[in-house]
Structure 1
Amino acid sequence: MSAYGSDPDLNVQDVTGNGTEVDVATNLLNGDIRLSILWTQEILLSADAAEQVAEALRRAAAQSRSITAAPSAD
């Protein structure tokens, strides 16, 4: 079982149609964020796809902060 949870709302593929994909995942144990380009070393994105990746990274950052947040001393 992987400690990483991929962003289920992200579905971005290369504009050239070669099947290359982007994955943004958060380590649910320590909050690390993984950005993966699957099936190659680079990906060419449309402006809309780039915005989707940026939003997925923002969601991952928020999730990471909630995982690593220290309990408040009330």
Structure 2
Amino acid sequence: MQRSQGLRCLNGRSITKIAGTATLLAATDGNVAICKFRIALAIARQDQLEARLLMPAELGPYVPSMEDIT
């Protein structure tokens, strides 16, 4: 099976962790909504934990700055 360009594979554990991180980020900010920026930030943090290289093109306009990741 060939992957579409620009898409990458995430396993179930990574998806669960990303969702949990995005939820915590929203709660920390006092919001009940999980916006696309928080999801992008959670993906970037998960990639850091997994020692993956995240290319800015993968997140498009939702690329978090490095200050937001740490």
Whether TM exceeds 0.5 here: the answer is no
TM-score by length of 2: 0.32
Query: Higher strand share goes to which structure?
Result: 1
